[in-house]
Structure 1
Amino acid sequence: MRIITALALTAAACAAMPAQAQEKGDVLMRVRAIMVSPNEKSGGVEPSFPGARVGVTDSYAPEIDFTYMVTDHIGTELILGTTKHDVQGRAALSGIDKLAGTWVLPPTLTLQYHFADPHATVRPYVGAGVNYTIFYSSKASGALNAAIGDTKVHLNDSFGYALQAGVDVNITRKVFANLDVKYIDMDTTARLHTGSATNSVKVSIDPLVFGIGIGLRL
């Protein structure tokens, strides 16, 4: 009975706390767990495999971002995180499940509008901005090397727009929960260098990034 009473008093105390403000001049930090889900579309692997297509796998990773509130309702957010993806064979290359692997670093800057009063418990927001994606540590798979010979893989970096929507929900004065979804315009050309031959494929990756996490008002 004492435990139940203590829990009830704690809950009442939390409910009575003043709502966290997200006001002009505040800096917000969020740590999220994200799922990156590509909506990929590719051309042929030219010139050797015009009937082939490629796909890009989903990935899960941590993400961190920082928001500076320019006004009570407008903020700028810098989003940082890196994920690893496999490039899969499709159509004429479907027999090779994994063609290559690559790491993706897509720093993204958005301008956000936060709805509701700065002291509200629930504050949804929308944002739009720019993204620069860096592909690094790209490497051909053993299966691809066995099929066509030792191959080096290079993916061009990408520059595009980003769209965002989310919501912050206060837990305490400084801590809040966060749900977030982003769409990133991401296109690349992958080049496969095998001996003196080079094949290339254009890929629109265009992922949706789903995130859930915790935020802190610094």
Structure 2
Amino acid sequence: MQSFRTPRRLLLSAMGIAIATSFATAPVFAQDAGTTAGKHFAIVGGYAHQEPTGNADINGSEADFDGSGAGTLSASYYINDNVAIEGWGAINKFDHRVTTAADGKIATVSSQPYALSAQYHFREADATVRPFVGLGYFQSNISDEDQDNIGPYADHHIGVSTPKGAIGTVGVDLNFTPNVFARADARFLKGSSDIAVDGTKAGEADMDPVVVGVGVGARF
């Protein structure tokens, strides 16, 4: 089965550039990051691109879901300077065009993921550059399934069930001041959906998207 378009090298390169830039600029801001320790809350607003990386089929035909961007928001509670619980989600919808090799575009669908994760932040709280990793659980609301009156499903309804499962996160924070920081992160969401046509199961979609984002945060 053919996979979705998977620009993994591009996504990993973007993450690498963000991390490298953070390290390169760290000395400039180090003098302002001395009193971050002991703060328990953080909020981050940002923008992310979601790209499905898995496989899908509908009535025996290989299907492809393309990627798109959306705004994101996260809120974290730091149990201590290194361990945090994060709630993260998209504040608007990622839109996906669904195509097959034989018929071209057959539908559009929107997804809006949200997740709860435990995170570990490396280095001291006062460090200017702080990498982190996380693991948790996500669900993604699926909506706006639309056939646009085109292709073989123009007179039928295509439904996609809610994907849910594990989410893994890698990222890095760059502290500008004790209260303000920038963030770059990459998230992998592992979950599958059933595809139905007029209410009858017709295939599956292992969307397994990678979500790469950047944002600005406040810590208090």
Considering the TM-score relative to the shorter chain, is it more than 0.5? yes
Give the conservation status (yes or no) of the 8 Å contact 1:159–1:186.
yes
In structure 1, the residue matched to 2:63 is 54
- The 2-side partners of 1:215 and 1:209 are apart by 18
Residue number among 148, 155, 163 corresponding to 1:150 in the alignment: 155
Query: Percent same amino acid at aligned positions?
Result: 23
Q: Does 1:26 align with 2:40?
A: yes
In structure 2, the residue matched to 1:84 is 95
Give the conservation status (yes or no) of the 8 Å contact 1:18–1:173.
yes
In structure 1, the residue matched to 2:133 is 126
In structure 1, the residue matched to 2:115 is 108
String of CA shifts for 1:75-102, please: whole Å, max 9, x gaps.
0111110311111113xxx332x21111
2:157 is paired with a residue whose SS is strand
Residue number among 31, 41, 50 corresponding to 2:55 in the alignment: 41
Residue number among 52, 64, 68 corresponding to 2:73 in the alignment: 64
1:212 is paired with a residue whose SS is strand
Give the conservation status (yes or no) of the 8 Å contact 1:20–1:120.
no
1:40 is paired with a residue whose SS is coil
Q: Does 1:136 align with 2:150?
A: no
**What are the residue-to-residue correspondences of 1:206-217 with 2, within 5 Å?**
206-217=208-219
In structure 2, the residue matched to 1:189 is 194
In structure 1, the residue matched to 2:177 is 172
| TM-aligned CA distance change 1:74 to 1:199, over 3 Å | closer
String of CA shifts for 1:2-43, please: whole Å, max 9, x gaps.
xxxxxxxxxx996643435153x6111111210101102023
Residue number among 74, 87, 95 corresponding to 2:103 in the alignment: 95
- Unpaired stretches in structure 1, ≥5 consecutive residues: 1-11
Give the conservation status (yes or no) of the 8 Å contact 1:108–1:162.
yes
- The 1-side partners of 2:83 and 2:123 are apart by 12
| TM-aligned CA distance change 1:63 to 1:148, over 3 Å | closer
Corresponding letter in the other structure for 1:188 = S
| TM-aligned CA distance change 1:191 to 1:180, over 3 Å | same
TM-superposed deviation, 1:62: 1.0
- The 1-side partners of 2:86 and 2:67 are apart by 24
| Moved segments of 4+, more than 6 Å | none
TM-score (norm 1): 0.81
- The 2-side partners of 1:207 and 1:89 are apart by 18
Corresponding letter in the other structure for 1:178 = R
Corresponding letter in the other structure for 2:164 = F
| TM-aligned CA distance change 1:141 to 1:166, over 3 Å | same
Which has more radius of gyration? 1
TM-superposed deviation, 1:168: 0.4
Corresponding letter in the other structure for 1:205 = M
Alignment coverage as a number of residue pairs: 192
Corresponding letter in the other structure for 1:68 = Y
1:142 is paired with a residue whose SS is coil
Give the conservation status (yes or no) of the 8 Å contact 2:33–2:128.
no
